[in-house]
Structure 1
Amino acid sequence: MTETPDHGAPTGEAYDWFRRGEELLRQGNAAAAAQLLQRALAAEPGSRAARETLARALFDAQQYEEARQLFAQIVADHPSDDYALFGLGLAALRSGDPKAAVEHLSLAVAMKPHDHHYATALRNARAQNAVDPVGGPATAGVPEDEPMPRSSDLNVPSELEELLRGIERSDGAPDDDAPNGEVR
């Protein structure tokens, strides 16, 4: 069933919105991708691919808490999903929770010990946690009247930023809910 446009709503079905959202994310338009992907996820709430792609789009759009919540939902449903743990760890780090980031990233590294991106993210989270070992926002030396540093000011290599901007899953596993056994 194809929906008719209603007050700027996209045409098509959930799969169409998902594919267009993926393409927008690949092109670097995370905010627009997030809008389409939210619509796709609302239409197909059980779609793991839509949830993960939306989490990546929200992360890229610097909506770290929202991304963190979606990655956490994936981990709750699929505790052995190393990529979701990695995304959850990065989102926690960007949300100012290095203690939680270390926890999630440690699990991802344990699952894939040879993954350079996972190991680098874990080292950065541990470094942030060392600044504030109790786990709250790493604010040592920042006066209360100054705003928290922007996400781009945190000590996370740019290659990690790129990882959530379209890297293919390195395990090559078929996506559970992608049509035709498509690999994500």
Structure 2
Amino acid sequence: MDERDERVDDGVGGGAGGAVGGGGVPEQQRRSGDPAGDVYEWFRRGAKLLAQGNPAAAEQLLARAAAAEPASRSIRESLARAQFDAGSYAAALENFRTVALADPSDDYAQFGWGVAAARLGDFESSAEHLALAVAMRPDADHYRAALRQTRATLAARAGAFGPLLPGAPGYLEPPRGRASGQEPGTTAGPEPTGERDRRDG
């Protein structure tokens, strides 16, 4: 996914989830195996790993941060980006969806919801959320490109560009059997007339 400017203005480290004193997790509540530092540090390190192209490692840190600060949209959005880049599209969709439902005017969350839905094959939902993102930010080329691609896929599935050719995504083999002039139980098509004529002649 395209990179997004970090947003740390929604109370990362100072809201719900049991954090104290500037985002730290109380020592008595820290589970064994938690990474060193506080929630804000987990968020910053996770965002850095994501920017460096390590989405799986970023996802681990950001998931810890999101568990500690479930109301933070910045953490959840970064987690969704890491999950998307790591190929966990269903998890990414749920986190983008959570951010978008909390703030329907968040164009990037709508975009993320749309592209994650497309990766999962739900092009109707994808088109809906990508259209919202484009309406909010019509100048974003990558938003418009994603919407065009989703709409083209929907049109192709509806047959707007003619029949799909063999080998194309979504192509279905024609039915076999009586409808295609074959005898029941056979799989080969009718033999060419020329072959029959040569044998009979």
Q: Same fold (TM over 0.5)?
A: yes
How much has 1:142 moved relative to structure 2?
Answer: 6.0
Runs of 4 or more above 3 Å deviation: 1-8
> Match for residue 57 of structure 1?
82
Distance 2:56 2:83 in 1: 7
* Alignment of 1:85 onto 2:110: yes
> Match for residue 141 of structure 1?
171
* Alignment of 1:43 onto 2:68: yes
> Match for residue 177 of structure 1?
none
How much has 1:140 moved relative to structure 2?
Answer: 1.4
> Match for residue 178 of structure 2?
none
How much has 1:9 moved relative to structure 2?
Answer: 2.6
How much has 1:130 moved relative to structure 2?
Answer: 1.9
State the SS of the aligned residue for 1:124: helix
> Match for residue 182 of structure 2?
none
Distance 1:44 1:142 in 2: 47
> Match for residue 40 of structure 2?
15
Distance 2:88 2:139 in 1: 29
1:49 is aligned with what amino acid? Answer: S
How much has 1:139 moved relative to structure 2?
Answer: 5.3
State the SS of the aligned residue for 2:155: helix
Distance 1:110 1:53 in 2: 23
Query: Counterparts of 1:89-128 in structure 2 under 5 Å?
Result: 89-128=114-153
How much has 1:141 moved relative to structure 2?
Answer: 1.3
> Match for residue 146 of structure 1?
none
Return the TM-score normalized by structure 1.
Answer: 0.70
Q: Deviations over 1:71-122 (max 9, x none)?
A: 1111111011111101111101111111111110011111111211111010
Which structure carries more relative contact order (alpha carbon 8 Å, separation 6+)?
1
1:106 is aligned with what amino acid? Answer: A
Distance 1:71 1:6 in 2: 27
The CA RMSD over aligned residues, in Å, is: 2.2
State the SS of the aligned residue for 1:9: coil
* Alignment of 1:31 onto 2:56: yes
> Match for residue 155 of structure 2?
130
The percentage of aligned residue pairs carrying the same residue is 53
Larger CA deviation: 8-17 vs 99-108: 8-17
The answer to whether the 8 A contact 1:132-1:139 is kept is no
Distance 1:7 1:80 in 2: 38
Count of residues paired in the alignment = 140
Return the TM-score normalized by structure 2.
Answer: 0.64
> Match for residue 165 of structure 1?
none
Q: Quick check: which has more Rg, 1 or 2?
A: 2
1:100 is aligned with what amino acid? Answer: S
> Match for residue 155 of structure 1?
none
Distance 1:102 1:37 in 2: 28
Distance 1:127 1:107 in 2: 17
Distance 1:36 1:17 in 2: 6
